[in-house]
Structure 1
Amino acid sequence: MAKPADQVKPPTINGDRPDLTSWVADNSAADPDVTTYSFTVSAKPGRTVTLTRAHTVFVRHAARSAQGALVSLHIGSSCGVGGEFRYFTTDLDDQSGAWVPTNDDAAQIHEQSNFPYVVKNDDPESFVLTAKTVDCDCTWRIQLDWTSDTQTGRTVIDNAVGRNFRTMGTGGYPRLAWWLDYTTHTWVTKRPTTPPW
């Protein structure tokens, strides 16, 4: 985040969960270096939609702050969601917003493909976008262009809670880390030994 490290505090805890939404808003926090986002597209029953293009649209593209902090908040383990995806990357330092097809090395999926894609109600497509930056403090969203019969349109995708994505390069920033201790319901600076840790 674009704030000196000595001014950064962890989120408040309501019950046994941190208030991350307020903390992000109050601190104007951003994803550090990389944002990964997945989404699925399908058509209404009886319709076929061709997805012609997806690209990054910048709301703000600025140089990252000279002062900042890289903050890690650890709130417990979680499980990922499986499935078949189309993998893409985008370089946020490049204002063209272009998406580049890639593969998922972690899952050993090496097939690459590119737009256009055809979707139906019972035949959706799922995508994973990895957006990276080194120097940018970028606020952005996804634009998906499509056609269906004689119609054409554009769908804007945000981060699913009504906000644009924000990603910021953090090279050279001091690092801060907190773990949520579920026994005391407090933040600690060393990994707890109690569950779920």
Structure 2
Amino acid sequence: MTATTVLTALGAVAIGLKTHPGGDPTSAPAPAADAGPSAGSPAPLSPPGAVDRGASAPITVTVRPHRDAECDQYVIDRPPSEVPRPPAVVDAPAWAAKVGAVPGHYQSIELTVQGTGSDTVVLTALNVRIARIAAPLAWNAYSMFEGCGGGMAVHSFDLDLDAARPRPVVTDGSTGLPLKVSERDPEVIEVTAQTTSHDVSWYLELEWSSGNRTGTLPIGVRDGAPFRTSAVKGRPLYRYPIGGRAWEPSPFQQ
């Protein structure tokens, strides 16, 4: 399918993330869309009412796998004999990077949003930008665990990546935006994206305001790279049984 780019019209603020060895993510500004000051030079002050494109956003965002990520699946271009056993949730990013794994069917993440100072920052909207759409990856699928389920965050969104115009939708029983954050009062936002038909690369975008400033800042992984999620329907599915020593075909083939 021809790659397309779709930006839902809701607004956005975003930051990219750097991942240290071991998979521990830390917040780091993503490259701004417009040319900014050279490294080491101070960021220019925004005039009243100006839209901040991310370089000096008064928030940080840390992305981690959702606490129930042990329920996730991955597609990997390797036979079962060459795939390590499932990792602990905290080690999932490093494990996935090591084997070239792509989240399969759905991808659950947590965004911890925190102000960088004492001023209150209002998070006003969450958007998605689709960077690329292609046919599903023709790789094997691997289930981290089976039969698991979990709770729902207070601020939780579902994202249908197969929709004509994908947009985050507040999960039933959850609370959406706006939210207020500061340095002492962070908030956690949960996003669960899903695709049954495509291989999708995508960003989240979060819109914020603080005083007379507003801004948008894209949220991705690994120095601003997009998230990526692929459908697994029809792919061979493997599981690693508790107490087992190797991957084996799952009885829950899709």
Fold shared, TM-score > 0.5 on shorter chain: yes
Summarize deviations over 1:108-159 as a string: whole Å, max 9, x none: xx3x333222222233221110101110101112111111112111122224
State, as a whole percentage, how many aligned pairs show the same letter. Answer: 26
Task: Kindly tell me the number of residue pairs found equivalent between the two proteins.
Answer: 165
Rate the CA distance shift 1:8–1:40 in 2: closer, same or farther, 3 A.
Answer: same
Cα 1:156–1:93 change in 2 (3 A) is same
Is 1:189 aligned to 2:251, yes or no?
no
Q: What SS does the corresponding residue of 1:130 show, helix, strand or coil?
A: strand
1:161–1:37 CA distance, 2 compared to 1 (3 A): farther
Instruction: Give the whole-Å Cα distance in 2 for the aligned partners of 1:70 and 1:21.
Output: 13
Match of 1:125?
187
Match of 1:97 among 138, 152, 166: 166
- Counterpart check, 1:164 vs 2:235: no
| 5+ residue gaps, structure 1 | 75-79, 104-109, 191-197
Task: Give the aligned partner of residue 83 of structure 2.
Answer: 10
Contact 1:11 1:23 in 2 (8 A): no
Structure 2 CA distance for partners of 1:179 and 1:10, relative to 1, 3 Å: farther
Partner of 2:139: 68
**Unaligned runs of at least 5 residues, structure 2:** 1-74, 86-90, 249-254
SS at 1:115's partner residue?
Answer: coil
Select the structure that is richer in strand. 1
Q: SS in structure 1 opposite 2:167? A: coil
1:23, distance to aligned residue in structure 2 (A): 3.4
Q: Does 1:31 align with 2:103?
A: yes
Counterpart of 1:145?
207
Q: 1:44 to 1:22 in 2, by over 3 A?
A: closer
1:88 maps to what in 2?
A: 157
Choose from 48, 58, 66 the match for 2:120. 48
Shift of residue 42 of structure 1? 2.0
Number of the residue aligned with 2:66: none
CA drift at 1:11:
4.1
